[in-house]
Structure formats: structure tokens, C-alpha cells
């Protein structure tokens, strides 16, 4: 195990194994959750389960071997919802073209991972706006979760109204929310997947959904979605803002996760090489994922659970990836899980992302207005791109009006101009 330099990192085989299993438990939910979300586009559910498991295995083990960090990766929550509800269902973009957009953004991210552009963008965008983006995406996916559960519904009079709480499916979703809130508050390991399983069992017992006749089966083929991406149709000026949105959101999401998980645990050296390699693995995984048929891959904050168990090297990630092999054979179980046992997890993830607002300095009027517009416009317009556009344009405009030119840089100007394109091509 000298390859992972266990002794140098103050860890051992047993600790890394335990840490890997812990990370697996906390993020196992992504396989059924992502499959249910992306299947709304018309993509094959079984193929999505297999593809999600495969990209998780590939990306997590790749990171462990390439960067030697205990960071697990999979299909990013938020961008998968934007892929489904924003692009395919909202903008009526074929899922093949949407995968082409993911592929292009992944290639750009991969190329830029070997340049100084990543550092330049990160230095250009204020910390508070990055946090606002996270909070906005959190509000967006929480709204999608509540809407999908039937807790909020369309209302011609007031746009959005309260759902029918006499509906057993809605009540099952409420139970799922209570369970995920409680288990997460009690800091139960694997709180998300445990909440899903318990809610599903209640649904099966009450006859709201059919219980699985078996638990395990051979993996479904990914042929219905693999290599079906349409890159040429994605090469359109109209899709430029969307491509930039995927690129920037993945970059900020990854760096935010890595900062939160890694720096506090002393995982990344001052020279930044480990961080750089993790970002390279992240970008390569997004490209590979689009070929397999899933949306953007990113680093998972759930990796923190493994780090808390003592995981310090890539061996933790390798073990996590290997554990995900089991999910390839759990198709009957995943198919039987009621959707309202899944969507509460989406709401909880949104809440956790929304909590980034606590760290924002609202005393600055430009930051205040930009943050508000980012957070409110993402769910209201059902688009991460629109939220970013409103935020960046407002931030630049107010800084110009206040003549705070020292706080304006080329990066902010570039992003604001790209954002302005959103309104022109909309």
C-alpha cells in the first residue's frame, strides 16, 4: 500500500476501509435518485441506474488513483435536476443534445484544469457570489423536490399553491421529509438512504407502491443511453450560456466541496497539486459520464463522512468506488422505490446548499441584490442559467453605479456579458 503513502498520511488499511464504507453509505442514495430524476426526460431508468453506478465507480476510483485524495465523485445533484427540468422539460431540448452540452462543458473544464483559467475565474468571482450560486441551486432543487412530491402545485390564481395533503402519495412524501430531517439531525450515518428505505417500506406496507418481488438482478444494459449524445446540435450560440452555466457551476461546486472537505482536514498541500489532480479527475469524469449517458459529474460533499472516519488517502476513494459495484445488482429494489420516498432527499440536499447564505456579507448592496436575484430567480424561472444571469448583471451594474471600479475585474465583466447574452437569445 506504499502507493497511497498510508503511513505518511497517518492512516492504515483498516481506517481507509472503514472510511470508504462510510462514504458509500452516505452517498449511495445518488444511484436511485439520479435515475428517477433523469428518467423524467424519457431516458431508460434501468440504463440510468447502471450508468450512474458505473460513473460513480469510475470517477471515484480514478480520483483515488490519480490524485490520492479520499474524495468520492458521482452525478451532481442540482445539475442533474437542471438537465432534466430546465433543459429537457423546460427548454424542450432533446436529451441527446443536453448530453452534448454536458460533454462540451466537460471538455472545456478538462482543458481549463491544465491552465490558470480556473484560478483566474475563482479569483474573479467574489466568495459571496459563489455562495449565492450554491444557495440558489439549493432553492431550485428543493422547489423541484416539493413540486414533484405534490406538496406545491400550479395555481392559475397565484402561480403556486399548496398541494392536496389528503393524497396518500403526498403524505408519504411528508413522512419521507420528516424521516430525512430527523435522521440527518441525529447525525445517523447513511441518513439519506435509510430515510428512502424506511419511507419505501411504509409505502409498500400501505399499498401505495408495489413491493419488490426480488432485491437483486443482473445489471441493465446502458446501450439505450450510452454514446447517444448529440454534440453537433449542442454547438450553437444559443446554447453558449447553458454550456457556461454547466462549466462554472461544476467548477464552483467542486472547489467549494474540496475546500470544505479537504482544507479543514489538511488533505491538500500548499502547492495545490493534489487539488489540481482532483479537479482533473472531476473534469475527466464529466466527459466520461456524458458518453455513458448521465449529466455532470462532481465531487461529493458526503466525502466528509469518510474523512471524519479517518480517511486521508485515495485508498478511501478506491474502497468507496468498489462498494458501489453492489448497486449494479440492485435494480429490482431501485425500481420498486416510490418516487415520493426519493424526492425528500432532493429537498434536504437543497436545504444544505441553501445554508451557504449564512456566510454572505449582506452589508454590501451589490452583493445583497445579486444574491437575492440569484436565489429567487433560479426557482422562479426554473433555470440556473437565468439566476446566474440576473445576479452577475445586477452585481456589475450596481458596482458601476456606485463607482466602485476597484471591485470590478475582467472576469466579472466577462461573466456579466455572457449573462447578458442569455437575455438576448432567450
What is the structure's pLDDT at 4? 92
Which residues are CB-neighbours of 373 under 8 A, at least 6 positions away? Answer: 387, 390, 391, 394
- In a structure prediction context, what are the per-residue pLDDT tens digits for the chain, which is 426 residues long? 579 989 888 899 999 999 999 999 999 999 999 999 999 999 999 999 999 999 999 999 999 999 999 999 999 988 899 999 999 999 999 999 999 999 999 999 888 888 777 667 766 788 899 889 889 988 998 999 999 999 999 999 988 999 999 999 999 999 999 999 999 999 998 899 999 999 999 999 999 999 999 989 999 999 999 999 999 999 988 888 889 888 888 877 777 677 666 654 566 654 556 678 888 899 999 999 999 999 999 988 888 888 888 899 999 999 999 999 999 999 999 999 999 999 999 999 889 889 989 999 999 999 999 999 999 999 998 888 888 889 999 999 999 999 999 989 888 898 888 777 767 765
What is the structure's pLDDT at 177? 97
User: What ranges do the domains of the chain cover?
Assistant: 9-354
In three-state form (DSSP H/G/I as H, E/B as E, the rest C), the secondary structure along the chain is CHHHCCCCCCCCHHHHHHHHHHHHHHHCCHHHHHHHHHHCCCCCHHHHHHHHHHHHHHHHHHHHHHCCCCCCEEECCCHHHHHHHHHHCCCCCCHHHHHHHHHHHHHHHHHHCCCCHHHHHHHHCCHHHHHHHHHHHHHHHHHHHHHHHCCEEEECCCEEEECCCCCHHHHHHHHHHHHHHHHHHCCCCCHHHHHHHHHHHHHHHCCCCCCCCCCCCCCCCCCCCCCCCCHHHHCCHHHHHHHHHHHHHHHHHHHHHHHHHHHCCCCCCCCCHHHHHHHHHHHHHHHHHHHHCCCCEEECCCHHHHHHCCCCCHHHHHHHHHHHHHHHHCHHHHHHCCHHHHHHHHHHHHHHHHHHHHHCCCCCHHHHHHHHHHHHHHHHHCCHHHHHHHHHHHHHHHHHHCCCHHHCCHHHHHHHHHHHHHHHHC
What is the structure's pLDDT at 268? 61
In three-state form (DSSP H/G/I as H, E/B as E, the rest C), the secondary structure along 367-418 is HHHHHHHHHHHHHHHCCHHHHHHHHHHHHHHHHHHCCCHHHCCHHHHHHHHH
What is the structure's pLDDT at 260? 63
What is the structure's pLDDT at 103? 96
**Distance (Å, rounded) from C-alpha 412 to C-alpha 388?**
12
Amino acid at each position: 500500500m506504499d502507493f497511497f503513502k498510508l503511513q505518511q498520511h497517518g492512516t492504515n488499511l483498516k481506517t481507509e476501509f472503514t472510511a470508504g464504507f462510510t462514504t458509500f453509505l452516505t452517498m449511495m442514495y445518488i444511484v436511485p435518485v439520479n435515475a428517477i430524476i433523469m428518467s423524467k426526460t424519457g431516458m431508460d431508468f434501468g440504463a440510468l441506474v447502471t450508468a450512474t453506478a458505473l460513473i460513480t465507480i469510475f470517477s471515484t476510483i480514478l480520483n483515488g488513483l490519480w490524485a490520492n485524495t479520499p474524495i468520492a465523485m458521482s452525478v451532481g445533484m442540482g445539475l442533474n435536476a437542471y438537465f432534466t427540468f430546465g433543459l429537457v422539460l423546460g427548454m424542450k431540448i432533446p436529451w441527446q443534445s443536453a448530453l452534448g452540452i454536458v460533454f462540451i462543458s466537460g471538455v472545456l473544464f478538462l482543458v481549463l484544469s491544465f491552465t490558470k483559467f480556473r484560478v483566474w475565474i475563482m479569483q474573479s468571482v467574489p466568495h459571496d457570489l459563489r455562495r449565492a450560486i450554491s444557495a440558489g441551486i439549493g432553492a431550485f432543487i428543493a422547489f423541484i423536490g416539493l413540486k414533484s412530491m405534490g406538496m406545491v402545485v400550479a395555481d392559475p390564481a397565484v402561480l403556486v399553491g399548496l398541494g392536496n395533503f389528503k393524497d396518500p402519495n403526498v403524505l408519504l412524501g411528508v413522512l419521507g421529509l420528516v424521516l430525512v430531517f430527523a435522521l440527518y439531525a441525529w447525525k445517523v450515518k447513511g441518513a439519506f438512504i435509510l430515510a428512502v428505505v424506511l419511507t419505501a417500506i411504509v409505502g409498500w406496507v400501505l399499498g401505495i407502491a408495489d413491493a419488490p418481488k426480488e432485491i437483486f438482478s443482473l445489471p441493465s444494459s446502458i446501450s439505450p443511453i450510452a454514446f447517444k449524445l448529440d454534440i453537433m446540435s449542442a454547438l450553437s450560440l444559443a446554447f453558449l450560456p447553458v454550456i457556461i452555466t454547466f462549466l462554472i457551476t461544476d467548477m464552483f461546486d467542486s472547489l467549494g466541496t474540496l475546500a470544505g472537505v479537504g482544507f479543514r482536514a489538511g488533505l491538500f498541500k500548499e502547492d495545490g497539486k493534489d487539488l489540481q489532480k482532483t479537479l482533473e479527475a472531476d473534469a475527466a469524469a464529466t466527459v466520461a459520464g456524458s458518453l455513458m449517458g448521465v449529466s455532470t459529474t462532481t465531487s461529493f460533499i458526503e466525502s466528509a463522512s469518510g474523512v471524519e472516519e479517518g480517511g486521508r488517502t485515495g485508498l478511501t476513494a478506491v474502497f468507496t468506488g468498489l462498494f458501489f459495484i453492489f448497486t449494479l445488482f440492485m435494480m429490482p429494489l431501485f425500481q420498486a422505490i416510490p418516487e415520493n420516498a426519493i424526492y425528500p432527499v432532493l429537498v434536504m440536499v437543497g436545504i444544505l446548499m441553501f445554508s451557504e447564505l449564512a456566510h454572505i456579507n449582506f452589508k454590501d448592496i451589490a452583493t445583497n441584490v445579486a444574491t437575492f436575484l440569484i436565489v429567487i430567480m433560479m426557482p422562479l424561472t426554473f433555470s440556473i442559467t437565468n439566476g446566474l444571469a440576473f445576479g452577475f448583471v445586477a452585481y456589475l451594474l450596481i458596482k458601476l453605479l456606485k463607482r466602485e471600479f476597484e471591485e470590478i475585474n475582467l472576469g466579472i465583466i466577462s461573466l456579466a456579458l455572457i449573462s447578458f447574452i442569455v437575455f438576448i437569445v432567450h
